[in-house]
Amino acid sequence: MMKKICTRRRRALRRICCFLLVAALFFCGRFYGLTPRWGLNDLENTYALDRTTRVAYLHDGGISASRFSLLVLSENDDALLFGATRFHLLIGWYGVGAAVAPREPNAPVTAGYYDWSDDSGSLSYGFGCMTGAARVQLLCVYSDFQTGRSEILERTVTPDDCMRFGGEDYFAVPLPQSGHSDWYRANVLLTAYDENGSAIVWTDPDGAGGATHALAYGTSTFS
């Protein structure tokens, strides 16, 4: 009976083939998030979106949870997505959470806001696409639950704050935080202006917010 004997080289080549096969199965089975794109895939899947194109990765280490994470803004024909992806040694990159703003056909602005908090604090970002507007004003309304007092903090976005991508202007900006840590944010209101300073879209206060943090808005023309 013959028993074949292996050289180092042959054994190493066999192990290389085995490694390549295992790596291919591992990759095809999507067992490990090798890059932040896999985390974005996670988020697309969670929110039932078709494949999106990444506009930008951002890093904001403002809270403990975000220190080893990436914020991502991405888009497709149907919606904008803004969320967070994080790396874990055992599972690689995965999606933490996101906000989705559905696109309306011919809308000058598509916008939303994303919140992320942990014991160390919170992050809030306004995001969107403002190709059809000259200026977007975001108003954060904070209220004291007990006394009913409120304050309004403003963040204005201009094309200078935007990232140009695919012929469109996208923004992702931190929203102002209230100095009162125990006040809650009652609302985020959006108003977009054209070059002449006329309001072209503004938030419908009754329709704003919701699970996806898309800023629903109405339009009207001034006569």
Residue number with CB closer to another protein (11 or 149): 11
In the complex, least distance from residue 136 CB atom to another protein, rounded to whole angstroms: 21
Cα gap 163→131, rounded to integer Å = 11
In the complex, least distance from residue 98 CB atom to another protein, rounded to whole angstroms: 9
3-class SS at 177? coil
Q: Report angle CA 210, 211, 213 to the nearest 5 degrees.
A: 65
Residue number with CB closer to another protein (55 or 79): 79
Question: Looking only at Cα atoms, what is the longest distance across the chain?
Answer: 98
Closest by CA position to 95, among listed 109, 80, 83, 108: 83
Do residues 124 and 79 touch, judged by C-beta distance below 8 A? no
Interface residue list for another protein (CB under 8 A): 1-5, 7-9, 11-12, 15-16, 18-19, 22-23, 25-26, 29-32, 44-51, 77-79, 90-91, 100, 102, 105, 211-212, 214
In the complex, least distance from residue 96 CB atom to another protein, rounded to whole angstroms: 13
Is 116 buried (19+), middle (13-18) or exposed (0-12) by CB count in 10 A?
Answer: buried
Residue number with CB closer to another protein (99 or 172): 99
Residue number with CB closer to another protein (29 or 197): 29
In the complex, least distance from residue 11 CB atom to another protein, rounded to whole angstroms: 5
